[in-house]
Structure 1
Amino acid sequence: MAKNSDNVASEGASQKKRGLFSRKPKAEKKNKEPGRLKQMAQVFQMTRRNDPMVVWWMLLAGLGVVAIGLLIGILINNWITMLLISIPLGLLAAIFILSRRAEKAAFSQLEGRPGAAGAAMSVLRRGWILKDEPVAANRHQDLLFMAVGRAGVVLVTEGPNGRVRELVTAERKRIGRVLPNVPISVINAGSDENQTPLHEVGKKMKKLPKQLSKLEVNAVDKRLTTLSINRLPIPKGIDPNKVRPSRRAMRGR
């Protein structure tokens, strides 16, 4: 009996040992992020499809910087050094042009899509509290988005100016009842006359004068969140996150 028990124990130990060493290594992640060069190539192809002139603008910027550097080098009788310095600067200038044109190309793809105005706000970073869903809508599917920051409350409209005016007026009154001293700014996003293009919405919001402290921004957001609890729900399916442009594409990396 002792021998049998020893055999069983040895077999069990050997099985555990085989199981321990027979484990397969963890599979590598299949969905690895592309490298920098591949990202740049993807951004360039996307931008070129929407803006064929980007190649010429990049060449003009890059060669222009190199030409200026070479000219300075000739004047100071040290053109080799200046050429070595100006070549990487020319590449940086070309990449900068690509990033700016890529931003416009990314926003041009959002034109006419529901939630485009909300996506235009999504490029803002620290200092802003953005509402993911529109705060108001009408039967024409015109939308009103909101953000809270140091500039106060910012309302961004999506739709013809004449139709969204009622949405803005109603929202101003609603906010004014609980936050009478908070400044409210309105930006009409779109491509029509007297509207702000999508790629300039974030820039325009950043230029608004700062009138609130960080603590006041949080307090205003809490009051607005409490106020929105009793609001009628907005129809589902309008999610600016689904049409949000790639920040890497707009930065060119």
Structure 2
Amino acid sequence: MSQLDPSSMSRRQQFAETYRMTKQADPTVGLWVLGAFVLGAAIGFGLFWILPGSGILGWVMSVVGALLLGALAAMILFGRRAQRAAYQRMDGQPGAAAAALGMLRRGWKLEPVVAFNKQQDVVHRVVGPPGIVLVGEGNPSRVKALLASERRKHERVVTDAPVHEVQCGNAEGQVPLGKLVRTVTKLGRQVKPAQMTDILNRLKALDAVTGKVPMPKGPVPTSMKGMRGNLRGR
């Protein structure tokens, strides 16, 4: 059976699919979510019970508060465990870093696979507040050389923008997949929105010269971006 495109699913279908995939990697997720709901509901009931009010109104407010806080706690915990499970499923697959970078919020422009060698080491590019971020995944020594080559190309075209290098992986000196987005966003704010527009225009010229780089062979994870709302617990 072919996998549905998350962007074509309804919100309910996305949530159900996210839960199904999460449960495969984390069989106890249902118990954790239920526990979070019960604990949140107990706290919510207690908080609203001590507020001024009595009789039926006090009970109604307490029950509503319990349901609201319980649901919020359950969604927050589910979002975190779903995100961790998604990273575990993608880790080691070709293009996993690009799928994770798709979780970046507005203000970032992702271009997957701007460089690729025969060993299937790849470099992705993100343009955002820090400037240009080149993200490599693969063998550390080969990726280092690939990143250095791409850095020189980008610095020749965009001379006034900072270029950062990040290696994604589990080897020493690399950033684990689950921490990639946080690492990229913590690079700081070094360019303004108007500068980003100019950078993107210059990079279009570079991409036109180099041509479209093919994605490496193998299953490329794509579901994370389509279900980002569920993974963030919303």
TM-score by length of 2: 0.79
> Deviations along 1:33-64, whole A, 9 cap, x unmatched?
66544543332222111112322321232122
The reply to whether residue 202 of structure 1 matches residue 181 of structure 2 is yes
**Where do 5+ consecutive residues of structure 2 fail to align?**
1-7
One-letter amino acid of the counterpart of residue 44, structure 1: Y
Alignment map for 1:15-94 (pairs within 5 Å): 36-72=11-47, 80=59, 81-94=61-74
Q: Tell me the equivalent position of 2:229.
A: 251
> Deviations along 1:166-219, whole A, 9 cap, x unmatched?
011112222222323311122221233433232332233223211111121111
Shift in CA distance, 36/172, structure 1 to aligned 2, threshold 3 Å: closer
The reply to whether residue 95 of structure 1 matches residue 70 of structure 2 is no
One-letter amino acid of the counterpart of residue 108, structure 1: Q
CA distance in 1, matches of 2:144, 2:203: 21
Shift in CA distance, 73/178, structure 1 to aligned 2, threshold 3 Å: closer
Alignment map for 1:80-159 (pairs within 5 Å): 80=59, 81-132=61-112, 134-159=113-138
* Deviation (angstroms), 1:87: 2.0
> Deviations along 1:90-114, whole A, 9 cap, x unmatched?
1121122112222222232222221
Q: Tell me the equivalent position of 1:163.
A: 142
Partner of 1:135, secondary structure, is: strand
CA contact (8 A) 1:102 1:249 kept: no
CA contact (8 A) 1:99 1:249 kept: no
Q: What is the number of equivalent residue pairs in this alignment?
A: 219
* Deviation (angstroms), 1:67: 2.3
CA distance in 2, matches of 1:239, 1:96: 35
Q: Tell me the equivalent position of 1:9.
A: none
Shift in CA distance, 116/34, structure 1 to aligned 2, threshold 3 Å: closer
TM-score by length of 1: 0.74
User: Which is higher, the Rg of structure 1 or of structure 2?
Assistant: 1
One-letter amino acid of the counterpart of residue 145, structure 2: E
* Deviation (angstroms), 1:144: 0.6
* Deviation (angstroms), 1:139: 2.9
* Deviation (angstroms), 1:143: 0.5
Partner of 2:167, secondary structure, is: strand
* Deviation (angstroms), 1:119: 1.5
* Deviation (angstroms), 1:161: 2.2
Shift in CA distance, 71/188, structure 1 to aligned 2, threshold 3 Å: same
Higher RCO structure (Cα 8 Å, ≥6 apart): 2
* Deviation (angstroms), 1:239: 8.4
CA contact (8 A) 1:115 1:239 kept: no
Shift in CA distance, 34/41, structure 1 to aligned 2, threshold 3 Å: same
Shift in CA distance, 203/245, structure 1 to aligned 2, threshold 3 Å: farther
Cα RMSD, aligned residues only: 2.8
One-letter amino acid of the counterpart of residue 173, structure 1: R
CA contact (8 A) 2:97 2:168 kept: yes
Shift in CA distance, 105/74, structure 1 to aligned 2, threshold 3 Å: same
CA distance in 2, matches of 1:245, 1:39: 10
Partner of 1:103, secondary structure, is: helix
